[in-house]
Every structure is written in C-alpha cells, then in structure tokens.
Amino acid sequence: MIRTLVLSALIALGVAGCSADGVSSFAERGLIVTGGESSIRITNRTGEPVYIFAAGGSTLASINWGPCFGGPDCPALPVGATRSIPFSQIGLGECETAAIVFWWHRVPGPGVSFEADSIRSVPLSLPGRSCLR
C-alpha cells in the first residue's frame, strides 16, 4: 500500500502548481502545503489535528516508514496552525527539487493504541532547491 502511495505521488508531482514568484502550493482537503526557498510550510484547515511526514522520492525509495502519533519527533499540527519544515529536516536527495508530504489524522485503534484514518499524500515542487553539479 505504501509503495502504491509513493508511486502515485511521484507520478502526480508534475501536477503540483508552481507560480512565477517561485512558490509552489497545493491544497488537499483542508491541508495547505507550500514549498518556498528553504522550507515547506503546512497549514491545517481540517477539522482535526494532523500528523505529517515529508521526504523526497529517492529517500522514500530506500526507507520503510509508518505513521506516527505524537512525541517530540512527530508532534500534531493543531487545527488552524501553520508549521514550517526546513529542507534540512526533510529527507531529500542531493538534486531533488520535489517532495511528497504525507498526512493523516489519529483515530482510536485496537485496545489502547492509535492508527491513521488514512494516509494522504501531497506532491510538491520545491522551487528553492536546485542541482548545482
């Protein structure tokens, strides 16, 4: 399932909008994701806190990740809040100019655990990144 999500998001990377001012932006179901010169900016306009994971395609091809639900490495983004994630904190290959932002809501799981309601993906161009070889 994750592999299908990654492949679908990679194919859709060309669909993400990029404006003349060098800012790429994408909105999906209340989550607004914007790629700037040095960071990704995420605004939560959904009705619940969201959890986020972002990475470039080369990183996603080499890792096995799953959704997280809190703690210092996976804080929730509250309703109405905005968070900026510097490119240096996102798994990006040397020449990657795009990323995929995955997001989900936490719902009760079996027993006292939690699980993701569904994992959504937002493809995003990163106009602040280039390959300088």
Q: How far apart are CA 110 and CA 9, in angstroms?
A: 29
Number of helices followed by number of strands (H, E) in the chain = 2, 10
The model's confidence at residue 5, banded by pLDDT at 50, 70 and 90, is: very low
Tell me, what's the pLDDT at 3?
A: 46
Give the tokens for residue 39. Answer: 């960071």
pLDDT digits (tens, 9 = 90+) for 108-118: 988 888 999 99
Alpha helix ranges (H) inside the chain: 2-12, 57-60
Flag whether the pTM goes above 0.85.
no
Digit-coded pLDDT (tens) for 41-89: 999 999 999 999 999 988 999 999 999 998 888 999 999 999 999 998 9
Summarize the confidence of residues 86-101 as an average pLDDT: 89
